[in-house]
Amino acid sequence: MKEDIKLLIQLQNKDIELDKLRYRAEAIPKEIEQSSTVLNQYKEEIESSRNELKKLQVSRKEKEVDLESKENDIKKHNLDLNSIKTNEAYKAKLNEIEGSKKQKQALEDEILVFMEQIEQKSLEVKQKEKEFKEQEAGVSGKINILKKELEQVNQKVSELEPARSEFVKKVPGKLFSHYEHIRSGRQGVAVVPIDGENCGGCNITLRPQIINDVYKAQDLVFCDSCSRILYKPSLLEEENKSDIPSEENKTDTKSEANEESVQSN
Ligand SMILES: [Zn+2]
């Protein structure tokens, strides 16, 4: 039974590592998307500032056309003056010219205001473009790092998955389905050490009988509350010793298993 639980602990370590990697593999694309969203927001802001700038330029152009036509009016009125016969009509024409000159002045003032606004808006666009470039460099770097990480994570998963399947062959079938069933309902953790008098998974205080059974280690012992498989903490320590050089797990497990059977005899 000790050996069975050791197998399950080893399997669980592999599964926890795989779970972490898969979790990361799901999270990275979302992080990449978030980073792209930041850049897109910058792009949208720049686009809207550019549109405002264009509108201002169009308005200025319109005022300049108005100004030109007003100037032509004034010229025409001045020419008209020569052909006017009566004093009355002459005076009226002069008034008309005066009115046009005022309108011309007003247009020139408006054009000046537009020119100032255009200058400000151009600076704003340039500033935003500069900020975007600075952000873009940082964000692109970040996205590249995330993409590399995703590649590595996927690579690691594709290495660990077959290794896990291979390992599962060592685990007795019924034990494995037990393990899988508990794991699926308990956030991926099916085997836990007892912690003093408590379950190391759900922390409930265990009955003395259960604690005794765990130390005897003759049968699988389950927590009454969370149904996880319980083991004595010293088993984990033994497990950790054999688990440190994880690359050589296979040979280590064998020697560890042999030692264990020698010791228990
Ligand atoms: Zn429990």
The 3-state secondary structure of the chain reads CHHHHHHHHHHHHHHHHHHHHHHHHHHHHHHHHHHHHHHHHHHHHHHHHHHHHHHHHHHHHHHHHHHHHHHHHHHHHHHHHHHCCCHHHHHHHHHHHHHHHHHHHHHHHHHHHHHHHHHHHHHHHHHHHHHHHHHHHHHHHHHHHHHHHHHHHHHHHHHHHHHHHHHHCCCCHHHHHHHHHHHHHCCCCCEEEEECCEECCCCCECCHHHHHHHHHCCCCCECCCCCCEEECHHHHHHHHHHHCCHHHHHHHHHHHHHHHHHHHC
> How many A from CA of 194 to the centre of ligand 1?
9
Which domains are delineated in the chain? 2-10+168-264 (1.10.287.1490), 18-160 (1.10.287.1490)
> How many A from CA of 126 to the centre of ligand 1?
62
Write out pLDDT tens, residues 68-84: 999 999 999 999 988 98
- With a CB cutoff of 8 Å and minimum separation 6, the contacts of 177 are none
> How many A from CA of 230 to the centre of ligand 1?
8
Which pLDDT band, with edges at 50, 70 and 90, does 3 fall under?
A: confident
Q: How far apart are CA 151 and CA 176, in angstroms?
A: 30
> How many A from CA of 1 to the centre of ligand 1?
20
pLDDT at 254 over 50: no
Q: How far apart are CA 132 and CA 50, in angstroms?
A: 14
Q: Considering only residues 229 and 260, tell me which one the structure prediction assigns the higher pLDDT.
A: 229
> How many A from CA of 202 to the centre of ligand 1?
4
Which pLDDT band, with edges at 50, 70 and 90, does 225 fall under?
A: very high
> How many A from CA of 201 to the centre of ligand 1?
5
**With the C-alpha atoms ordered 52, 58, 64, 70, is the resulting torsion angle positive or negative?**
negative
Q: Are 217 and 231 in contact (CB under 8 A)?
A: yes
Write out pLDDT tens, residues 174-219: 999 999 999 999 989 999 999 999 999 999 999 999 999 999 988 9
Which pLDDT band, with edges at 50, 70 and 90, does 259 fall under?
A: very low
Q: Which of 96-110, 146-160, 194-208, 226-240 shows the lowest mean pLDDT across its residues?
A: 226-240
pLDDT at 91 over 90: yes
Write out pLDDT tens, residues 21-70: 999 999 999 999 999 998 999 999 999 999 999 999 999 999 999 999 99
Q: Could you list which residues have their CB under 5 Å from ion ligand 1?
A: 199, 201-202, 223, 225-226
Residue 199, Ramachandran bin (φ over 0: left; ψ between -120 and 50: alpha; else beta): beta
Average pLDDT, the chain: 89
> How many A from CA of 123 to the centre of ligand 1?
65
> How many A from CA of 141 to the centre of ligand 1?
45
> How many A from CA of 23 to the centre of ligand 1?
24
> How many A from CA of 129 to the centre of ligand 1?
58
Q: How far apart are CA 195 and CA 228, in angstroms?
A: 13
> How many A from CA of 15 to the centre of ligand 1?
19
> How many A from CA of 197 to the centre of ligand 1?
11
Q: State the pairing for strand pair 191-195/198-199.
A: antiparallel
pLDDT at 238: 57
> How many A from CA of 211 to the centre of ligand 1?
12
> How many A from CA of 212 to the centre of ligand 1?
16
Q: Are 16 and 202 in contact (CB under 8 A)?
A: no
